[in-house]
Amino acid sequence: MTPQENDENQQHLNILLFSADYDKCLAAFILANGAKDMGMQVTIFCAFWGLLILRDEKRISPENKDLYAKMFAAMTPSQVENLPLSKMNFAGAGKAMLLNMMDKEDAPHLTDFLNGARKKGVRFCACKLSMEIMGFTKEELIPEIEVAEVKVYLEDAARADINLFI
């Protein structure tokens, strides 16, 4: 934690990232990067589908999973860029169109925003209960995540200036 992050007066954004839609994650990470650029503290607490964003594709290890966890891992996108849209996905056609429109505007993709957030020092937490239910191990997720109970979320959120459930 940097000295800046100990500052009681520093503003603080907390996002409970529940969804794994490409567009909703994009919104969450645009906010997280923007807040960091303004000098705010940012916590992203990933629960349920939000855990998919934390998977490190180089480290997914199906051999350690039981049947349901294996099926679940197989059914969910292992790459951030493969997440579907929340609306108008049209089996990928709407998503491809959105990506085309983003490229035309030279807008960064979700992976870029995720990498930016990691470099800027966003605090990433993974909901312990969700990990257990979904059969994710800490080893499959990006290394800097904290596996945290709901209490950690509530304490962080109670101190935050902006709380969003996305």
Which residues form the interface with a second copy (CB under 8 A)?
Answer: 11, 13, 16, 18-20, 23-24, 26-27, 30-31, 34-35, 37-38, 40, 47-49, 66, 68-69, 71-72, 75-76, 86-88, 94, 97-98, 100-102, 104-105, 107, 129, 132-135, 149-151, 153-155, 157-158, 160-166
Contact yes or no for 116/135 (Cβ under 8 A) = no
In the complex, least distance from residue 145 CB atom to a second copy, rounded to whole angstroms? 18
CA separation for the pair 151, 116 (Å, rounded): 27
Nearer to a second copy, 8 or 58 (CB): 8
Report the helix count and the strand count for the chain, using DSSP H and E. Answer: 7, 5
Nearer to a second copy, 58 or 62 (CB): 62
Amino acid sitting at position 35: A
In the complex, least distance from residue 133 CB atom to a second copy, rounded to whole angstroms? 5
In the complex, least distance from residue 144 CB atom to a second copy, rounded to whole angstroms? 23
Q: Phi-psi region for residue 136, left (φ > 0), alpha (ψ -120 to 50) or beta? A: beta
Contact yes or no for 144/118 (Cβ under 8 A) = yes
In the complex, least distance from residue 89 CB atom to a second copy, rounded to whole angstroms? 11
Taking the CB of residue 105, how many other CB atoms lie within 10 A of it? 7
Nearer to a second copy, 60 or 133 (CB): 133
- The 8-class DSSP code of residue 91 comes to G
Nearer to a second copy, 60 or 162 (CB): 162
DSSP-assigned beta bridge partners for residue 126: 46, 147
Nearer to a second copy, 72 or 121 (CB): 72
